[in-house]
Amino acid sequence: MKLYVKAYSSYIGNIKEFDVKKELKQKYKLDTRRQDTFIHLAVYGAQKLRENTDINLDDELYVTSGLGNIDVLQKTNNYVGKEGNFIKPFDFINMLGNTTSYYVASSLGLKGKNTFQISDNFTYINTLISVFASLNISKKDAVLGSIDLATQPDEIIKRVLGVDKETKVTSSVNYQKLSLNEDGALAYMEFDSKSYSLDEINEILKTTSLDVISSMRCRKLDTNKYDEYFETIPAYALSKAIESNSDLLYIDCYDSKYKLLKLINI
C-alpha cells in the first residue's frame, strides 16, 4: 500500500511549558471554550498543517491516538469515583473521541468524512491502512492527525503503553495531508498489514539501505531509537525524515510482532 504525503506539521514537547490554549486564541483567533488540553493540542496541530497546504472542504479527516483523552478520564475518575461527585457534562462530552475530531474538522472547515480511530497497538499504521482503503473508494485526499498527551502520573501511561518505568514519555501532535495522487507530493509511504517475526526483520535489516529507526519497545533490535516515547511516534519519525530529506524505515513492535513503515522522499 502506498500513500503520498503532500504536507505535514509537527510539535513535540512538554505541554506544561507551552500554553497551547493561548496560542489558539491569539495566533489563530479560535474559540477554545468547553475544550480541554487534548483537544487544544489536536486543533493546534491541524492549524499548523493548514499553514503549509490547502485543505479542501471535502477532504477526509482521520484522528488517532495511543491513549486518547486519558487526561479527562483520570480527572473524571477522581471526582466521581474517589470524591463521589457528579460527572461534569463537558468532561463527559470531551471523553468521546468524536468530540476531538469534531473540533478539528470545525477549525479546518471540513465537511467530509470524519473518523476518530484508536487501535490496540500499531494505531498509526492501522489508521494508514484505513485511510488507504477509504481513499481508494472516494478518490479524495485525507488529513491524518496523530495526538498523544503525556499526563501525570506518567506511571499509568507507561503501564498502558507497555514501556519501561525508566522510559521518558512526552506529548506530541503530528499531521499529514495524504493522497493517492503523486502531484505535488513531498514523499510517499509504503506499508502493509503483515506482522513480521524478529528473524524476518533481521533479514530485512541486512539488505536495506534506508535509515532505520525503531520503537523503544523493540528491545531486541540494535537500531536507532528516540530518547522519548509516545504511541504515535511513527508519525513524528516520518515528519522528521521529510524535514531532513532522509529516506526512512521505521520499525514498530509489540508482543514479539513487528510492523514496518517506509518513507521515500520525492
Number of domains in the chain: 2
The band of 119, judged by pLDDT with boundaries at 50, 70 and 90, is confident
Summary mean pLDDT of the chain: 89
Residues 162 and 192 in one domain: no
pLDDT of residue 126: 96
Residues 41 and 147 in one domain: yes
The residue from 134, 165, 184 where one domain ends is 184
C-alpha cell at 29: 483567533
- pLDDT at residue 248 greater than cutoff 70: yes
C-alpha cell at 24: 489558539
- CA 124 to chain CA centroid, Å, is 6
Amino acid at 70: I
Best CA proximity match to 252, nearest among 118, 68, 160, 125 = 125
Average pLDDT over residues 9-14: 93
- pLDDT at residue 48 greater than cutoff 90: yes
The residue range of the domain holding 21 is 2-184
Residues 7 and 123 in one domain: yes
Residues 90 and 192 in one domain: no
Higher local confidence (pLDDT), 79 or 132: 132
- CA 197 to chain CA centroid, Å, is 25
The residue from 144, 160, 184 where one domain ends is 184
Residues 50 and 96 in one domain: yes
Average pLDDT over residues 15-31: 91
Instruction: Give the span between the Cα atoms of 210 and 203, in whole angstroms.
Output: 14
- pLDDT at residue 17 greater than cutoff 60: yes
pLDDT of residue 96: 57
pLDDT of residue 165: 79
Query: Which secondary structure element, helix H or strand E, spans residue 176, and what is its range?
Result: strand 171-179
What are the pLDDT digits (tens) for 189-237? 999 999 999 999 999 999 999 999 999 989 999 999 999 989 999 999 9
pLDDT of residue 35: 86
Residues 9 and 100 in one domain: yes
Average pLDDT over residues 173-190: 97
The residue from 161, 184, 207 where one domain ends is 184
pTM for this entry: 0.90
Share of residues in the chain with pLDDT > 90 (%): 67
Residues 195 and 169 in one domain: no
Q: How many CB atoms lie within 10 A of CB 10?
A: 20
What are the pLDDT digits (tens) for 78-96? 555 555 555 555 555 555 5
Residues 178 and 229 in one domain: no
pLDDT of residue 43: 97
DSSP per position, 186-252: SEEEEE-SPPBPHHHHHHHHHH--SEEEE-TT-TT--SB--SEE-TTHHHHHHHHHHHTT--EEEEE
Residues 93 and 154 in one domain: yes
The band of 157, judged by pLDDT with boundaries at 50, 70 and 90, is confident
Instruction: Give the span between the Cα atoms of 67 and 119, in whole angstroms.
Output: 10
Average pLDDT over residues 155-176: 83
DSSP per position, 133-153: HHHHHH---EEEEEEE---SS
Instruction: Give the span between the Cα atoms of 115 and 153, in whole angstroms.
Output: 29
Phi-psi region of 121 (alpha: psi -120 to 50; beta: other; left: phi over 0): left
CATH code, domain carrying 20: 3.40.47.10
Residues 18 and 119 in one domain: yes
State phi, psi for 73 to the nearest 5 degrees.
-65, -45
Average pLDDT over residues 102-118: 93
Amino acid at 132: F
pLDDT of residue 244: 96
- pLDDT at residue 75 greater than cutoff 80: no
pLDDT of residue 142: 98
Residues 40 and 156 in one domain: yes
Residues 11 and 114 in one domain: yes
